[in-house]
Chains A and B, each alone.
Chain A
Amino acid sequence: MSDFEKKILEFKNRLNSTQDSKEIEAIRTDIFSKNGFINSQFKKLGSLSQDEKKTFASNINKAKQELLEIFRSKATEVSDKDLNEKIKKEKIDVTLPEKEFKIGKIHPVSQVIDEISCIFSEIGFSVEEGPDVENDYNNFTALNTPKDHPAKDMHDTFYLDENMKTLLRTHTSPVQVRTMLKGKPPFKIIAPGRTYRSDSDQTHTPMFHQLEGLHIDKNINMGHLKGCLNYFIKEFFEVDKIKMRFRPSHFPFTEPSAEVDIGYRIENNKITIGEGDKWLEVLGCGMVHPNVLKNCKVDPKIYQGFAFGIGIDRLAMLKYGINDLRSFFECDYRWLNYYGFDPLDVPTNYRGLSK
């Protein structure tokens, strides 16, 4: 056996007997580095004859391939072994708490306003707004509610001055007045917002939310009103069919006026909307009174249409099973977290209103 072969055998033995990554690296240097065994053998070629050169070079190459193969498989084996050992040691308690990520929440009233806007957007309504502080004219007079009339008692008003001229709006209807006074018909708007009445008990809060709707054009009649609200309620509660009734009522600013009830039933403490034999009042509506149109510089001989007012908080309670109106405004951390919506959960008409 030549020295060359002995050396090869020695390397093979070294490789086969090691399990240590450092030794593997040392062997690699000994064999394959610039000054390693293989290169030192090639350097010997210069001093050999042509024939010897050919044979020896071929031997070196053969040996190199052989060693390389063994080296690779051994290197893989050792690194796999090392990694496995490392992994074994890396066991951590994944039941420890994750890093805190705080996502905020959108208040259910805001979410429901977005849902409602989304529904009415589909049928061509746009969103209008008005100030929270109103004058007596826009809140009452222009809306055909005469001074010293019991109809005013339906609204326990917060006043800002002793002469009762400025007040916190008791409904969103003054937005109708502002919209009509600043523009030209047709009008097709919804107006969500805060409203105020000096009333506070189990089912009333001094501030609550309403949504006003107004559609005025040349030929808008009660059939359109029914169709519009029917569509809205169905879309809002995300059901195909809904039991609904229009009951005559009275509001100074609409005539004829109606209250809308939807059917419901309660089973095992759960409320089902749209069926059942109980009725729940959800909104008031009617054909805009000609006097209101006149007050808003719209000619009632040419234009007519409907208006409606919806209690937003009430709808939110129904849709999302919230029992207590007052809890909407108590900012309880647990409540906000529980009933709030993910800010990424934006109601859209292609995805649907709710998740």
Chain B
Amino acid sequence: MKFTKDWLDVHLKTNKSESQIIQKLNSIGLEVEKVEPVKNELSDFIVAKIIKANKHPNADRLKLCDVDIGKKNTLKVVCGAPNARDGLLTIYAPPGSVIPKNSMKLEVSKIRGETSYGMLCSESELKLSNESEGIIDLNDKYKTKIGKSFFGKKKGKNVIELSITPNRPDCLGVRGIARDLSASNFGKLKEPRKSKVKNNIKHNLKIKIEKNKNQACSIFGSCIIKNIKNTESPGWLKNRILALGLRPISAVVDITNYVMFDLNRPLHAYDLDKIKNKITVRNSKKGESFKALDNKNYTLDKDMCVIADDEGVLGLGGIIGGERSGTEIHTKNILLEAAYFDPALIRKTAKKLDLNSDAKFRFERGVDPQSVNAGLDSAVELILEICGGEVSKFDVQQTKKFKDLEIKFDPKTVTKTVGTNININELKKILSNLGFTIKTKGKFLNVKVPSWRPDIFGEIDLVEEVIRIIGFEKIKSIEPEKKRTKPTLNFFQKHFHLAQRSVASKGYLETITWSFTDEKINNKFKEKLESVKIVNPISSDLNVLRNSLYPNLIFYLEKNLNRGFGDQALFEIGPTFTGRKPGQQITVVCGIKKQFIDEDNNLKKNDLVDVFHIKKDLVQSLTELEIRKEDFKVEENTPSYYHPGISGSIISKDGNLVLGYFGALHPKIISNTFGFEIFLENLVEYKAKNKKTKDSLTFSDYQKSDRDFAFLVNKDTRAQDLTEVIQKIDKDLIKEIKIFDVYEGENIPSDKKSIALKVTIQSDHKTLKENDLTNISKKIISTVEEKTGAKLRS
């Protein structure tokens, strides 16, 4: 919402300065977004310099000029003037500006195949003289003014732009802003001017609001004005229209716009002579179409509110008028409409048609239903004053009664809500200045809500009105109590926190990537999960919720590779989605590691990343999360995005929960890259089920002995199969099993391999004799041979 101080003065008698007003508006909830000097019609035209006038490649008489308009880059402008030459100082009109001579609005256009961004102007085009031979040739004085407006800016006047929250439609009119300021002791709201217009001709156009289901229109007020002489608006009106950022069109159109911004009362003017027979306000039929004032054709759905005559749709009620009945500069007779439309229905229609207008913006927020007559009065008075003519009586069709809401208000609610004592007289004064009518009923107030405040429903809304006018700075701050009755983090959150820092401490950089990703990449990782599509994605390559953290991590890893960073370890902890319903998501920690193999770097050769590095990182993090080696086993089944031979899964010892995966990623997806995943919910569930208290530490000081074994096993036998079997033989005596060699090759059958392990044997109670050691060694050999088909290598 834009306005100027002098416009505000129409409604508010105040001695406060513009800067005081700006400060006040902010403190009462009308946020000032911008304060800018007023633009006039000519401020678009800029002093410019032709850097180079090149020949147009496709036309002999045209030139393609590089033009300096004081910005970083020069612009290409096509120009046909014979005097266009290198170094010429002239005047440039940007796209969007309107050329005074012919009122033509400039657009970026292609001229003989070359794009021209704007135009270089002749004197006649700017109505400076009749000189049309060639473009303006400015003298050297203007050299310092390149990029500045040629006509200069009027000084002193500012446009104040407010960002009005959607609950305050009343402040989409200057009068509403004035009212809020008057309630804040910033002046006195002036009484509206009484209309002196005589309504002396007959309103002879039949108007009817049809009874339709979900009829959006409930009031249609109108009057006929005949024998006007539509014209250019007078200067004061043009300036106000320009201040709004609109283009003056004609007096009739400018006046309807002016009243809309003055009183938050949208109006529409029809060319009466173009209306066939009568006006019907009705719901549209499916497929009906019309050409709107924005020059676009709209095909309507069923049940959109239209204003129609016997020939068809004239306009979309409350949203946009139609071209067929639009007023023109030679229009003689008009029908002026002031109506009321249902906010939700207006919004629905406009959304469906993707249509926006100042009227729609207001109706969907709520226009004062009691403002029909005031709006017509105000516009009629201006039209008669500027365009002359005679006006009819107002015809108001109304199908619904609007009753002002009354609220039973306990004034103590204010103090209870804000915590600071508020004087009841001050409270009453504020509300009545805002237009509320108050009657005292015992301890309560009966508060009648003004018709222009559709946002007020109950006591709490009144509390807000009072406190925002008094000012939040008057509320006394209460220091918070430093007391904790509940733990800050729950069991899961503690693990999240620890997992995050644990993985980072293994050399991984934490990233945060989008929760959505490219479906094409996601498909490689979704396994059996459904893809969850976003109906309105921000771009087609971010169109599904991620089923895995890998797609984004790999994407960014490769980006970093392209930036020249070879060695990388990235991780993310966050949600992946298992379905489209709320809650169908899990928390995954995913790490990814890539080593850049630098053949020249001898210093690093002994430190190559392989699957056991990534396994080390994962197992160490699990250990830090108190999932120890004895709590899980390693299996070979992994999702298809891992290398099938170089990957493993971490399964809870009971076999029920997948705690994680690790391995080389599938070479088809990305080469020479390793990764791991931890499924945090599973991990926490497993831990919660198997809560262990830490036993007190015991250790044995008796002699410990190591025995080495080498077993010949089938190639597909896993080391874990041997260690599990050995561990079970005697949990007390066998303290540790360490694999120290795996060998395939010479002296070994081609389908076999040799696994060498060191078993540490120690008793907690005595020194073991040679005999005991021999016995247990024999038992190890026999059990392993029996259970795994292994053979001791001799």
The interface of chain A, by Cβ under 8 A from chain B, is 96-97, 100, 102-107, 109-110, 114, 117, 120-127, 129, 131-135, 138, 146-151, 153-154, 158-162, 164, 166, 168, 188, 194, 196, 198-200, 206-207, 221-224, 226-228, 230-231, 245-250, 255-259, 287, 289-290, 304, 328-334, 336-337, 340, 343-344, 346
Contacts and interface: CB of A to CB of B under 8 A. Distances in A.
Given A223-B419, A250-B168, 8 more contacts: A133-B580, A133-B582, A138-B582, A222-B467, A228-B480, A250-B165, A256-B463, A333-B563
Interface stretch (B34-42, B87-95, B506-514): B506-514
A290 B504 CA distance: 44
Given A133-B577, A135-B582, A222-B419, A255 B464 contact: yes
Contacts of A131: 582-585
Interface string B472-490: 1101111111111111111
Nearest to A198: B538
Contact of B513 (A138, A166, A331): A331
Interface in B445-478: 458, 460-461, 463-464, 467-468, 472-473, 475-478
Contacts of A343: 500-502, 504-505
18 contacts: A122-B482, A123-B483, A126-B486, A126-B489, A133-B584, A158-B534, A161-B580, A162-B535, A206-B514, A221-B418, A222-B419, A227-B479, A245-B27, A247-B31, A249-B165, A256-B467, A328-B512, A337-B509
A165 to B, nearest CB: 10
Interface stretch (B64-72, B129-137, B565-573): B565-573
Nearest to B538: A206
B26 A247 contact: yes
Interface centre among A102, A103, A334 (most CB of B within 10 A): A102
B545 interface: yes
A224 B419 contact: yes
A74 to B, nearest CB: 43
B582 A105 contact: no
B542 A206 contact: yes
Interface in B13-52: 26-29, 31
Contacts of B28: 248
B511 A107 contact: yes
Given A97-B603, A247-B472, A343-B505, A196 B559 contact: no
Nearest to A224: B478
B603 A340 contact: no
Contact of A104 (B475, B480, B504, B580): B504
Contacts of A138: 582
B184 to A, nearest CB: 11
Given A194-B574, A227-B478, A255 B509 contact: no
Contacts of A123: 480-484
Nearest to A331: B556
Nearest to B416: A221
A328 B712 CA distance: 54
Nearest to A221: B419
A258 B26 CA distance: 11
Interface in B604-618: 604, 607
Interface string B381-419: 000000000000000000000000000000000001111
Nearest to A208: B512
A176 B192 CA distance: 46
B782 interface: no
Contacts of B458: 290
A320 B80 CA distance: 54
A127 B510 contact: no
Contacts of B488: 117, 120-121, 125-127
Interface string B299-333: 00000000000000000000000000000000000
Q: Which 10 A-B pairs have the closest CB atoms?
A: A248-B29, A102-B507, A221-B419, A223-B419, A250-B165, A331-B556, A248-B468, A343-B504, A104-B504, A246-B472
A222 B475 contact: yes
Contact of B493 (A127, A246, A247): A127
A199 B537 CA distance: 10
A269 B555 CA distance: 34
Contacts of A168: 515, 534
B575 A166 contact: no
B489 A117 contact: yes
A289 B460 contact: yes
A154 B478 contact: no
B31 A249 contact: yes
B55 interface: no
Given A135-B582, A148-B344, A160-B533, A105 B166 contact: no
Contact of A250 (B29, B504, B508, B532): B29
B515 to A, nearest CB: 6
A151 B583 CA distance: 26
A275 B582 CA distance: 43
Contacts of B571: 104
A331 B570 contact: yes
B495 interface: no
A287 B416 CA distance: 11
B503 interface: yes
Contacts of A105: 504, 509-510
B365 interface: yes
Contacts of A125: 488
A228 to B, nearest CB: 5
A162 B417 CA distance: 41
B507 A103 contact: yes
B295 interface: no
Given A127-B488, A250-B167, A150 B26 contact: no
B585 A133 contact: yes
Interface string B643-687: 000000000000000000000000000000000000000000000
Contact of B569 (A104, A148, A221): A104
B483 A150 contact: no
B343 to A, nearest CB: 8
